[in-house]
Structure 1
Amino acid sequence: MSTETQKETLGFQTEVKQLLHLMVHSLYSNKEIFLRELISNASDAAEKLRFEALEKGDLYEGDSELKIRVSFDKEAKTVTIEDNGIGMSREEVIEHLGTIAKSGTASFLSNLTGDQSKDSQLIGQFGVGFYSAFIVADQVDVFTRRAGAGISDAVHWSSRGEGEFTIASTEKAGRGTRIVLHLKEGEEEFADGWRLRSLVRKYSDHIAFPVLMEKEAAPVVDDAEEKSETESKAPEFEAVNSATALWTRSKGDLKDEEYQEFYKHISHDYSEPLTWAHNKVEGSLEYTSLLYVPGHAPFDLWNREAPRGLKLYVQRVFIMDQADQFLPLYLRFIKGVVDSNNLSLNVSREILQRDPSVDKLRSALTKRVLDMLSKLAKSDAEKYAGFWKEFGQVLKEGPAEDYANRDKILKLLRFASTHTGTADQSVGLEDYVARMKEGQEKIFYVVADNYNTAKSSPHLEIFRKKGIEVLLLTDRIDEWMMSQLFDFEGKSFQDVTKGELNLGEVESEEEKKQQEESAKQLEGLLERLKPVLEARVSDVRVTHRLTDSPACLVLGDYDMGLQMRKIMEAAGQKVPDSKPIFEINPEHPLINKLDQEPDEARFADLALILLDQADLAAGGQLDDPAAYTARLNKLLLELSA
């Protein structure tokens, strides 16, 4: 037995303490998945060794047959998972087993709900599967030596999962990691060959390395001499999984359950994927891809700098864990594997950036994902609605980032609209165009901070009267996105709060003539209003977009919208100076009363009240709310006198 040196006791990171408590006492109703997590980690270690050994062949130490071994001891109540992968140094052990070695631990803890099913999904999103060992074990020992290090440079890590761990230097002949689980009272069922074999086949059959277990013992013989000879033989091990990379197998031979388990292996997610696409392409560009759409957004979805990308293999050899060159940023939520025959085995990130095959793969995989989403949208509206709720805002980055696929992306976008009467974003542009009125040439939309403000916008009044559908855009990204869009299937986009309203052939010539006459009748009122409001508006004009409201504010065709202005101001950025246009409704009684007001001071107060009300209705904030309140109170007192 080797002597241990440099032994020290360290405390877990605070977040790990909380995590361990949650996992032991409230999470994981399905305890058996601990084996899946530990085998998955062992598989990752083997892949990392194979990658590093491409340049440093001596890391194999004469043993290039990578494998994972699962064993048990009924009497000692232990389960052991051992691999001959890359192993860990002392520093790596402290980093990976003493902390949650990913950013966002505070976010993780703040997202915990106390609901077992929801919280167990979060565990996977934060990559902390190793700690699942403490669900069934009251003590975990890890013996590990990094490939290329000396025998005496091995490390022994041990913990009872109660707030601290010990770490010591030890000796280990073979490279890799051995994890020994000391089972809790009542968890002895896992120290059983049949139980462990069934779990390996259920959860880890797709692992590309052989998962070995000792062969089942032969029937006991009566001959004492023969029995003695049998006992003296070294145990024989056999693979209990298929040990074939799942993506290399035929789609017809794979079950949905196998695809789902493989997704959990590569993503460390505990929930089912929403959908997936498995394809093998032959020709000038040969590759196999297996791409997944997750069921839930990861905690760092909005961090555009967070690690992302596909697992890259070249001729079935693992190269890179998060290759971000193969999909655009707006598809950063996609998980999966790409295995190419067109890239060099010694590929690196620098080489990838210069390889023309990467651009071809990126183009092909991007179209593959968009086709997968399009198929989902057409075949299962409910599932697509779930996807849109999780990832819709990210997909809205696409039209500006990926011009080549803009039409495909536009067909995938979903919006709320006046047609549905709900805040659900369920209306596609194809749906909208199909419902357009005869003579309607534009796709109309309004941008607001929230659904209630959007649906109550006075700018929608004429559209309701005419039965014209308007898209209601309320996501923070919407105004920026629409500034990048010009048309869809030959129909241009029109913000109903900008420029002069032109409904085209939807309006009759008689209606247009009546509007011109109304404007002429109020020319005197317009001239009175302009000097009163000139400090805050660029122009005053008669409108025909209102039916119920007395007035509204309209932006210039190229002015920045209110939503974008707020976002930029909140970010401390300077916004361009611009004044809105004040439009009045010639049919409204308040406008007629204003026109007949002889007292210029009272006329000014009424005009400013109408302007402030129009500002509020548009979702704006008054620069001087006290002045508005004073004018309104003055008017109320006059009315009550």
Structure 2
Amino acid sequence: MTVSAQKETLEFQAEVSQVLDLVIRSLYSNKEIFLRELISNASDAAEKLRFEALTDSSLFEDDPELRVRVLVDKDAGTVTVSDNGIGLSRQEMIETIGSIASSGTRRFVEALKDRQGGNQSNDQSGEQSGNKDAATDGTLIGQFGVGFYSAFIVADKVTLISRRAGLGAEHGVCWESDGRGSYTLETVDKPGRGTDVILHLKDDEKEFADDWRLRSVISKFSDHIAVPVEMLKQDFRSDEEKEKDEDKDKAPEYERVNTGQALWMRNKSDISDDEYKSFYKHISHDFEEPLAWAHNRVEGTNEYSTLLFVPKRAPWDMWDREQKHGVKLYVRRVFIMDEADKLLPHYLRFVKGVVDSNDLPLNVSREILQHNRKIDTIRGANVKRVLGLLESMAKDEPDNYKTFWKEFGRVIKEGPAEDFSNRERIAGLLRFSTTVGEGDEQDTSLDAYIERMKEGQDKIYYITADSPAAARHSPHLEMFRKKEVEVILLSDRVDEWLVSNLHEYKGKHLQSVTKGELDLGEIGAKEEKEKTEQAAKEHEDLFKRLKDALGDRVESVRASSRLVDSPACIVVGEHDMSANLARVLKSVGQEAPSTKPSLEVNLDHPLVRRLESESDQTRFADLGLILLDQAELAEGGQLDDPAAFVGRLNKLMLGLFMTGG
């Protein structure tokens, strides 16, 4: 870093140069969005000032009319986006612009690279791609708070001059960079609060140094922004007429170029789909269109308007513990807060939109939102609208719903535990893979499962495992396959949380196939059940010998009615924690209650028959332990003593070789 008086040159954060390179290269075919992003940032700055001024009106200084101005200088080849919003202090400028989304920069780089190809591993990987998909990678830019850097798509140098509201004119700061690794900061005088972003256009981007070109972009992307967007008033007189004008040196006149009416306050019948999509992109900083939206206006004792959107792609921080979520809250068209998370439950955190209340106080805070009946009413209505929107999509637009489920399915699975009153509706939206079909695509609803249930079946059967393959190939499914009974395959971590809170659906009990003794009710043949019970009595000595050999590792040993091809499997009690859930808890550092499983053996299997005939007790114990270890491995478990397992297996193999067996 070099310092001269109040001017200093600083290096960008380590990943920032990568971000700039990726942003500029990824958005090359959608250059117009730079203006949308800069105007959106300016609008946000104005809204933040309006909010802070609710408690400190002096922040307005002598300029209470908020606005954004876009200026063009053809001779200089510059475009300036100026606002009189909250502005930035020197430190804020370093933290928000010099550091770029400091909490997620590395993930931004990784996610953007991944969307450019996934299998490319170095920084130059995207340079040869040259395909149309690269242009769509900009879906992440606004989500990461780096929309300002879209300016470098059309500019080879960007100058930003800002002063925070409430500070003196001498506290202005000038930021400047060519985007190549460093930037300068200099203290300057700035009489007016707010921010001016000056773009020095590249030689081949001078098309944007045109008044009409910029007006068309503003009309396309920013027409709905509530803050006035102004440009110099058009003067259609000839140069000669202008020269004769005695008032030619008067102050320039500006005119509003966006309509600025709050979209959510207009009648739905007057709003086109394109206007809805454009508004969504503005509030979400998403470059893709939404999958669906719901626009409602409620009148009566609690008057409010809502406009809620379901995105097409999950945000980058969906699973971040510090992820912010929620819709924008307005009170009588005054912006109050950006992430009002009390207006929607956590399992709907992907929803974007606006809630505008006529009845809440302008000084509403997050604490007030937690204990406000009007907020509870709005929240409940929002949930019903979003669930209704998803139900309609699932019914009428199955392809869109498939896209939605792929992105947000795991989040929706949190719903039954979080929202008891809507548990059944949420369950109806869930999709699963099952033993019907070979793929792992989650496309079966609980309603579809119930329709396919066999005559006499009164339960919804499921299995949880740590991977789709482990679930699909589990020994516990062998009898179900033989009887052609469909089983839901669950392998997401959240699935254990789901089934522990969703016990039935439309009167059908959800039953794990890995818990308790198998009871297929009327589906299971009476003769087979009696045969198993009779065999169990005949082999009591085998079970006792095995229990003695396995000791405290198992609760009991019994004959299995669920195995067909495998020699053994482990089963936990009906009300015990599943082995998979115990593994999930341990993997995140939480204690799991110790539960002894039972070992079920397939009495028809040759290995079990060989075991029963073994007279050498030491050899019998080794074989029994191998049987148990294999059963645990088949369920995706980890052995406490894998070396001992290998030793016993080697001993067994060596014995077979020596005897020629």
Same fold (TM over 0.5): yes
Structure 2 CA distance for partners of 1:537 and 1:102, relative to 1, 3 Å = same
Provide the residue aligned with 2:236 in structure 1.
218
Per-residue CA distance 1:142-172 (angstroms, 9 max, x = gap) = 2222223223332222222222222222223
Provide the residue aligned with 2:467 in structure 1.
450
- Quick one: which of 629, 642, 656 aligns to 1:625? 642
In the TM superposition, what is the alpha-carbon distance from 1:353 to its structure 2 partner?
Answer: 2.3
Residue aligned with 2:510, SS: strand
CA distance in 1, matches of 2:203, 2:310: 40
Provide the residue aligned with 1:61 in structure 2.
61
CA distance in 2, matches of 1:629, 1:233: 92
Per-residue CA distance 1:7-49 (angstroms, 9 max, x = gap) = 2222222222222233334543211110000000111011111
- Quick one: which of 169, 174, 186 aligns to 1:151? 169
Aligned residue identity for 1:207? I
Residue aligned with 2:142, SS: helix
Aligned residue identity for 2:47? E
Is the deviation greater in 293-302 or in 33-42?
Answer: 293-302
1:183 counterpart = 2:206 = no
2:51–2:335: 8 Å Cα contact kept in structure 1? yes
Give the total of aligned pairs.
Answer: 637
Per-residue CA distance 1:73-106 (angstroms, 9 max, x = gap) = 1111111111122222222222222111441212
In the TM superposition, what is the alpha-carbon distance from 1:490 to its structure 2 partner?
Answer: 0.8
Provide the residue aligned with 1:597 in structure 2.
614
In the TM superposition, what is the alpha-carbon distance from 1:588 to its structure 2 partner?
Answer: 2.2
In the TM superposition, what is the alpha-carbon distance from 1:330 to its structure 2 partner?
Answer: 1.5
Provide the residue aligned with 1:534 in structure 2.
551
Provide the residue aligned with 2:49 in structure 1.
49
CA distance in 1, matches of 2:64, 2:305: 25
Structure 2 CA distance for partners of 1:630 and 1:504, relative to 1, 3 Å = same
Which structure 1 segments of 5+ residues have no match? Answer: none
Residue aligned with 2:160, SS: strand
- Quick one: which of 129, 132, 138 aligns to 2:156? 138
Structure 2 CA distance for partners of 1:302 and 1:229, relative to 1, 3 Å = same
In the TM superposition, what is the alpha-carbon distance from 1:189 to its structure 2 partner?
Answer: 0.4
1:399 counterpart = 2:416 = yes
1:42–1:68: 8 Å Cα contact kept in structure 2? yes
1:207 counterpart = 2:225 = yes
CA distance in 2, matches of 1:161, 1:298: 26
Residue aligned with 1:472, SS: strand
1:327 counterpart = 2:338 = no
Is the deviation greater in 22-31 or in 286-295?
Answer: 22-31
Provide the residue aligned with 1:614 in structure 2.
631
CA distance in 1, matches of 2:200, 2:241: 35
CA distance in 2, matches of 1:102, 1:232: 46
Residue aligned with 2:204, SS: coil
Residue aligned with 1:484, SS: coil
CA distance in 2, matches of 1:377, 1:26: 33
Per-residue CA distance 1:152-204 (angstroms, 9 max, x = gap) = 33222222222222222222332222221111111110010110111000111
Provide the residue aligned with 1:10 in structure 2.
10
- Quick one: which of 478, 498, 503 aligns to 1:461? 478
Structure 2 CA distance for partners of 1:30 and 1:521, relative to 1, 3 Å = same
Aligned residue identity for 1:9? T
Per-residue CA distance 1:517-574 (angstroms, 9 max, x = gap) = 2222222322332212223211011111111112111111122222222222233333
Which structure 2 segments of 5+ residues have no match? Answer: 118-133
> Over the residues paired in the alignment, what is the CA RMSD in angstroms?
2.0
CA distance in 2, matches of 1:582, 1:96: 59
Structure 2 CA distance for partners of 1:304 and 1:332, relative to 1, 3 Å = farther
Per-residue CA distance 1:293-337 (angstroms, 9 max, x = gap) = 222222221123322211100011001111111111111121111
In the TM superposition, what is the alpha-carbon distance from 1:223 to its structure 2 partner?
Answer: 6.2
CA distance in 2, matches of 1:167, 1:526: 80
TM-score (norm: length of structure 2): 0.92
Provide the residue aligned with 1:34 in structure 2.
34
Aligned residue identity for 2:322? E
In the TM superposition, what is the alpha-carbon distance from 1:222 to its structure 2 partner?
Answer: 5.8
CA distance in 2, matches of 1:572, 1:222: 80
Provide the residue aligned with 2:126 in structure 1.
none
1:194 counterpart = 2:212 = yes
- Quick one: which of 483, 497, 513 aligns to 1:496? 513
Structure 2 CA distance for partners of 1:66 and 1:373, relative to 1, 3 Å = same
Provide the residue aligned with 2:302 in structure 1.
285
2:224–2:263: 8 Å Cα contact kept in structure 1? yes
- Quick one: which of 407, 412, 415 aligns to 1:390? 407
Structure 2 CA distance for partners of 1:588 and 1:223, relative to 1, 3 Å = closer
Aligned residue identity for 1:432? Y
Q: Among the aligned pairs, what percent are the same residue?
A: 57
Residue aligned with 1:34, SS: helix
Per-residue CA distance 1:350-379 (angstroms, 9 max, x = gap) = 222232211111111122222222222222
1:84–1:174: 8 Å Cα contact kept in structure 2? yes
2:26–2:137: 8 Å Cα contact kept in structure 1? no
Aligned residue identity for 2:347? Y
Residue correspondence of structure 1 range 240-251 to structure 2 within 5 A: 240-251=257-268
Aligned residue identity for 2:141? I
Structure 2 CA distance for partners of 1:72 and 1:221, relative to 1, 3 Å = closer
Provide the residue aligned with 2:121 in structure 1.
none
Is the deviation greater in 379-388 or in 435-444?
Answer: 379-388
1:543–1:583: 8 Å Cα contact kept in structure 2? yes
TM-score (norm: length of structure 1): 0.95
Per-residue CA distance 1:117-138 (angstroms, 9 max, x = gap) = 4542222221100111111112
Provide the residue aligned with 2:130 in structure 1.
none
CA distance in 1, matches of 2:163, 2:652: 83
CA distance in 1, matches of 2:607, 2:186: 84
CA distance in 1, matches of 2:241, 2:485: 93
CA distance in 2, matches of 1:152, 1:607: 83
Is the deviation greater in 251-260 or in 188-197?
Answer: 251-260
Structure 2 CA distance for partners of 1:50 and 1:340, relative to 1, 3 Å = same
CA distance in 1, matches of 2:242, 2:76: 26
In the TM superposition, what is the alpha-carbon distance from 1:419 to its structure 2 partner?
Answer: 1.2
Aligned residue identity for 2:418? E
CA distance in 1, matches of 2:55, 2:157: 38
1:165 counterpart = 2:165 = no
Residue correspondence of structure 1 range 109-120 to structure 2 within 5 A: 109-113=109-113, 114=116, 116-117=134-135, 119-120=137-138
Per-residue CA distance 1:395-416 (angstroms, 9 max, x = gap) = 2111111111111111111111
1:304–1:329: 8 Å Cα contact kept in structure 2? no
